[in-house]
Structure 1
């Protein structure tokens, strides 16, 4: 059973999310919070497996609540709920420790699948959100003459690992990467897990942002050729 905490200041949204969650026999809504302060308290009391967190709430907002929950319980899996045009809150939520990102108008099947993925330890994200995070990371890079120094976390990566990392930075799924590189999906999963370990990134979203920030150091490899 996946235990879920819903945090959103709009009661109608919480009602809709609860009905959706309860349509799945493997999901149980253990608590609802109408603001960030209540979300922090209920997260500590009910110990949910997954927290669906609205980023825009009065008083203590979703970003601050995420930060406080992660400080108290770093293993928490908080999936941030965002609107399509809410770019200003995405990167702060990632920095606060959000485990995944979903747009609020995601289809019900996508949201339920995201809950299962989060509970299983695989960060869920809506592709448009990941694309916006990657664009933000690219814009945030400081312009330098020539090629930027390669971060220590990227040192020693094989050409194939660089190929995979660059494609993660493009927002491609494991299946798409596998098709491009003529690999099995399970092999790509192994590469991604290894890359997260070597670069010290907590999840795929952070790995994609890292790749976007240092895309110039990954350039020059030819997908499908390097071994």
Structure 2
């Protein structure tokens, strides 16, 4: 029996996940909470085998931060991150946080059950590239950081200061980003990326 804790701030989604997973013979939902900031405490209290956690939760708590804390304190607990947003940095940030797997919310119950079983079996399940339209998958980690700061409205000088790099390095990153995404200007790229949800500067 796989003991599952759900962390999801939307009540309808949380209840639907609980009912669906409880209906699977080898799963048991032992806790369902809305705030990722409480996830570590609930892990201590309930000892789940796996945490299914949204990236963005109640009170603006980060599921990614919670995942990192859980994996550090309870390394045997599996963590599956989930999101309904196309934000391109989430997948890589989930890896960096130590999350075992990552799913999008458009996945059906059967697919989710497979991911949970595979994750409990020691496999790391991550989605294919959803950013192919802009070739976001070709960007390096530093280029992604620069792109987020561009979308946040920072100037070249401000980006250089924030990342502790030279202006020339920023210019090189700009050039590489435009070359890989096919855009003529960073302004147009930033507008498209933010308006279509590929970059979320508030998270």
Same fold (TM over 0.5): yes
- 1:109-132: CA deviations, max 9, x gaps? 100111111111112233346979
The one-character-per-residue Cα deviations of 1:155-213 (angstroms, maximum 9, x if unpaired) are: xxxxxxxxxxxxxxxxxxxxxxxxxxxxxxxxxxxxxxxxxxxxxxxxxxxxxxxxxxx
Instruction: Report the counterpart of residue 64 of structure 1 in structure 2.
Output: 65
Q: Is the 8 A contact 1:102 1:129 kept in 2?
A: no
Structure 2 CA distance for partners of 1:142 and 1:2, relative to 1, 3 Å: closer
Post-superposition offset of 1:97:
0.7
Unpaired runs of at least 5, structure 1: 144-227
| Superposition deviation, residue 88 in structure 1 | 3.0
CA contact (8 A) 1:2 1:50 kept: yes
Query: Relative to 1, partners in 2 of residues 1:129 and 1:25: Cα closer, same or farther, differing over 3 Å?
Result: farther
- State the match for 1:116 in structure 2: 117
Do the aligned partners of 1:117 and 1:123 also contact (CA within 8 Å) in 2?
yes
Kindly tell me: are residues 96 and 23 of structure 1, through their superposed partners in 2, closer, same or farther at Cα, counting changes over 3 Å?
Answer: same
**Structure 2: which 5+ residue stretches go unaligned?**
144-203
CA contact (8 A) 1:117 1:124 kept: yes
Is the 8 Å Cα contact of residues 103 and 129 (structure 1) preserved in structure 2? no
**3-state SS of 2:89 partner:** helix
* Backbone CA RMSD of aligned residues: 2.4
Any idea what SS the aligned residue of 1:80 has? strand
The residue number in structure 2 matching 1:18 is 18
Q: Deviations over 1:70-93 (max 9, x none)?
A: 121122211110225122322222
| 1:141-160 correspondence runs (5 A) | none
Contact 2:94 / 2:102 at 8 angstroms: preserved in 1? no
Quote the Cα distance in structure 1 between the aligned partners of 2:127 and 2:89.
Answer: 16
Which aligned pairs between 1:1-227 and structure 2 lie closer than 5 A? 1-57=1-57, 58-128=59-129, 135-136=136-137, 138-140=138-140
Q: Report how many residues are paired.
A: 141
SS across alignment from 1:20: helix
SS at match of 1:5: strand
Aligned-residue offset at 1:94: 1.4
Task: Tell me by how many angstroms 1:142 deviates.
Answer: 7.5
The CA deviation string for residues 50-101 of structure 1, in whole angstroms up to 9 with x for no partner, is 1111001134210111111112112221111022512232222211111101
Give the 3 Å change call, closer, same or farther, for CA 130–96 of structure 1 in structure 2: farther
